[in-house]
C-alpha cells in the first residue's frame, strides 16, 4: 500500500477537532486510509476516536497509507495543516 510520512501541523496535535476533520474527509472520499506513528499499529483514518489514540502531537511524524492516490494526498494535506487555525 503506498504511503507518505508527514509531520502533524495542528498546534495541539491530532486531538478531537483535527481528528474529526480527517475522519470526515476519509468518509467523503470512500477510501481505505490508515495512519500510524512509529512503533504502533496503523489505525483507520475514518475513525476520529482511533486517530486520537495515536497521541500525535504537533511535529509527530505520521505515516499515511492508502491505495487511493487522491485520498492519500488529501489526508497528507490535512495532517500537515494547522486545522485549529481554520
pTM of the model: 0.94
15 is catalytic: yes
| pLDDT single digits (tens) 28-81 | 999 999 999 999 999 999 999 999 999 999 999 999 999 999 999 999 999 999
Domains of the chain listed by start with CATH number: 3-80 (3.30.1340.10)
pLDDT band at residue 84 using 50, 70 and 90 as cut-offs: confident
Place of cell 505520521: 62
Q: Which of 6, 15, 31, 78 is catalytic?
A: 15
Burial of 22: CB neighbours in 10 Å, binned 0-12, 13-18, 19+: buried
DSSP conformation letters of 27-77: HHHT--EEEEETTS--EETT-HHHHHTT-PPTT-EEEEEES-HHHHHHHHH
Amino acid at each position: 500500500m503506498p504511503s507518505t510520512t508527514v509531520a502533524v501541523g495542528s498546534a495541539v496535535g491530532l486531538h478531537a477537532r483535527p481528528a474529526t476533520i480527517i475522519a470526515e474527509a476519509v468518509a467523503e472520499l470512500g477510501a481505505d486510509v490508515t495512519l500510524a506513528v512509529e512503533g504502533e499499529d496503523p489505525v483507520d483514518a475514518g475513525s476520529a476516536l482511533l486517530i486520537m489514540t495515536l497521541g500525535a502531537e504537533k511535529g509527530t511524524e505520521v505515516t499515511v497509507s492508502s491505495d487511493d492516490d487522491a485520498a492519500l494526498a488529501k489526508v497528507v494535506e490535512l495532517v500537515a495543516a494547522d486545522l485549529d487555525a481554520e
